[in-house]
Amino acid sequence: MGIETSCDETGVGFVKDGVLLGDALASSIDEHVRFGGVVPEIAARAHVQAMVPTMRAALDDAGLQWHEVGAVAVTAGPGLATALHVGVAAAKATALALGVPLYGVHHLAGHAAADTLVHGPLPDRCVVLIVSGGHTSLLAVDDLVRTPIVHLSDTLDDAAGEAFDKVARLLGLPYPGGPSIDRVARAGDPTAVRFTRPLMGPRDPALGFSFSGLKSAVARYVAGPQDPAIGTADIAASFQECVADTVVTKAIRACRQEGVDTLVIVGGVAANSRVRSMAEERCAEAGIELRVPPMRLCTDNGAMIAAIGDLLVRDGATPSMADLGARSSVPLELAQLG
């Protein structure tokens, strides 16, 4: 059983031997829309209310009974502290009541593990690009649950998803910004505004990411005198093109640098249609195998946490202690926390 509550989605999933048996998801997103972003206290309260019904729905989806649950994995970090606490408490209570082991796991390792549910085990070595609301990182991954994960780069400021959310706000599009921009951009011209690709100069770090300057560039464009022929859809499409170009270019560079031929793209922004299509085109050209989970497994969910829990169980990992706590900011080094 995997439990996810790091942000605004209450997710519960069941995985056995790499196979997704069933899952369920509840979201408090509608309650945050009028604030333009996730309000931690509202998210935490919604997790409390949704937890038991979501567990029930996931059990039903998987056709399982409580006594068939063999272990419980939970996102112990990173994320919103108040939200994480709800999942950790629920996981501890469940593990204790069932008399089964508890595994605290890193949310980002869960994102990477989501891909194994559709494409099978990861190869011996691969590069993972994580593009979510809180993180933008390039990782060198050997064995996801055994070997320490090497960060090739992390964003210097905003995460890619954060940039989507902030730019959507600038353009008057609803939260969450990523799906809004993706939708609106379909009718826009991605070449209408040539936003400078961040950290792509010859003296910039080859794998570095930075999105706050791009967000400011969009703000300046929106505030300045505009070409009446260029509308919101064009600005959205141009911004999206810039982010896609940046993350895909750097991910392919990372594969070359590491000498690996598999790229895995995960996290909420991996649901973006242009990131997906551009990654497909460029990886095909570069002879790199691209793995991207289906959209519903890209954004936060319980199945991905069950997936990493299942890998830990099968690897014979030592369960986490009963004093497992929530860690709101913790770098991804090992898949297991606590």
To ligand KG4, the closest distance from the beta carbon of 75 in angstroms equals 9
Residues in a beta bridge with 289: 262
Token pair belonging to 197: 């690709």
Q: Peptide bond preceding 190: is omega within 30 degrees of 0, i.e. cis?
A: no
CA-nearest of 53, 49, 59, 48 to 2 is 59
In the region spanning residues 109 to 168, those forming contacts with Zn ion, defined by CB under 5 A, are: 132
Choose from ligand KG4, Zn ion, none: what does 182 bind? Cβ within 5-8 Å by kind: ligand KG4
User: What SS3 state is found at 264?
Assistant: strand
Angle between helices 232-258 and 160-170 (to 10 degrees): 170
Judged on CB neighbours under 10 Å (0-12, 13-18, 19+), 289 is middle
Judged by CB, which is closer to Zn ion: 233, or 332? 332
Interaction between residue 241 and Zn ion (CB under 5 A): no
Pairing outcome for strands 9-16 and 289-291:
unpaired
Q: Please identify, among the stretches 31-39, 143-151, 154-162, 300-308, the one whose residues bind Zn ion according to the rule CB under 5 A.
A: 300-308
Binding to Zn ion by CB under 5 A, coded x per residue (else -) over 77-116, reads ----------------------------------------
To ligand KG4, the closest distance from the beta carbon of 270 in angstroms equals 8
- The greatest distance separating any two alpha carbons of the chain, rounded to the nearest whole angstrom, comes to 65
To ligand KG4, the closest distance from the beta carbon of 181 in angstroms equals 6
Judged by CB, which is closer to ligand KG4: 161, or 302? 161
Number of residues that bind Zn ion (CB under 5 A): 2
- The phi and psi torsions of 106 (rounded to 5 degrees) equal -85, 130
From candidates 4, 23, 300, 310, binder to Zn ion by CB under 5 A: 300
Judged by CB, which is closer to ligand KG4: 22, or 78? 78
CA-nearest of 126, 29, 133 to 78 is 133
Token pair belonging to 285: 């050209």
Give CA 234 to chain center in angstroms: 26
Judged by CB, which is closer to ligand KG4: 95, or 139? 139
Judged by CB, which is closer to ligand KG4: 182, or 245? 182
User: What SS3 state is found at 260?
Assistant: coil
Pairing outcome for strands 19-27 and 126-131:
unpaired
Choose from Zn ion, ligand KG4, none: what does 5 bind? Cβ within 5-8 Å by kind: none
To ligand KG4, the closest distance from the beta carbon of 130 in angstroms equals 8
Binding site for ligand KG4 (CB under 6 A): 7, 132-134, 161-162, 164-165, 176-179, 182, 267-269, 271-272, 299-300
To Zn ion, the closest distance from the beta carbon of 107 in angstroms equals 6
Whole-number Å distance between alpha carbons of 308 and 305: 5
Interaction between residue 9 and Zn ion (CB under 5 A): no
Judged by CB, which is closer to ligand KG4: 7, or 21? 7
Q: Which amino acid is at 85?
A: H
Judged by CB, which is closer to Zn ion: 28, or 132? 132
Footprint on this chain of Zn ion (rule: CB under 5 A): 132, 300
